[in-house]
A and B are shown apart, each in its own frame.
Chain A
């Protein structure tokens, strides 16, 4: 430890265990909640896609599913790349 950091005190040396605890609490809450129930995400995605497919042709490879688990709330974003209308007409 250098002379300066000795006087700057312990604060900057403080560990980041609290960060580890926060991360664990969030992810474990989600894991425990889904432990009994089956994982509904695959089905949700399939059903959503089936609905979209009634209106437009979709390429399953061009569906992006993004999830961000948070403490009180999670966000699920499903992005479906819709084919350009004109191109479909041109192809037809």
Chain B
């Protein structure tokens, strides 16, 4: 694992994190455990844009909430700058890590003015007096490209794109280092989406931000991310530099995801997807590799055992039959996980 000798500087790290919810099935049904994250490890490196992709329900938002300290993992560790998240002061953390969520409609309080919404974190943290808080609001509005006259308006008086700018302003007014973006442009029209994406890219350059960027839009991820992690049913199945991933994914699931991207090229038709079955039920996950029921390459071994994640110089891959020329070296002792541990 050469990766470990590479100089890395993770600002956020998940170590073997699992998250289990309890869900009721049907009106009178018993509660059953739903494992949204399974023994998941991930590092967010200083200054990178880590794209996180995967179908809905695979656990992306759960992962985001855990990184933000909004949800506690059932097991495993969350480290901020190498120290356990739980050991750190909540307010200090909020100064460093801020979220931008998908829905600019529901995440802004409709009864507060834009100035109130943006300055709330400053007031909570007791930063400055009223006058300096107003000045900070004006400054950050300028950064996100909103005129200062919007300060006294309400969210309902703004367009979707403007509201998402307000949400970004609210996240940035604390001058965080890390921004967790969960589908930040998914509710927006493309002409507005491009403005927000440009803004996020500019802010990263100007303020030196680190992003976790969750999106189901792979074209957007390819555009913005420096590295990508692909998730399937609560686990990371592949990690790679963006260019390498889009040049040739190693995991058959990543490959399927990339195939499904409809680039605006009229000389191409709709791809034929090679995904047999439907996305699995997380309450009843498949044995072995969770992707095996949908995988064209699946063999008997895939149904029986879960491929352990292998870290190499190209990133991470968890597959018995990865694409690519060189067969992936597996770690000798850990390659075949114990059966009991995999389900």
**A, B co-complexed:** no
Interface of B with A (CB < 8 Å)?
A: none
Interface of A with B (CB < 8 Å)?
A: none
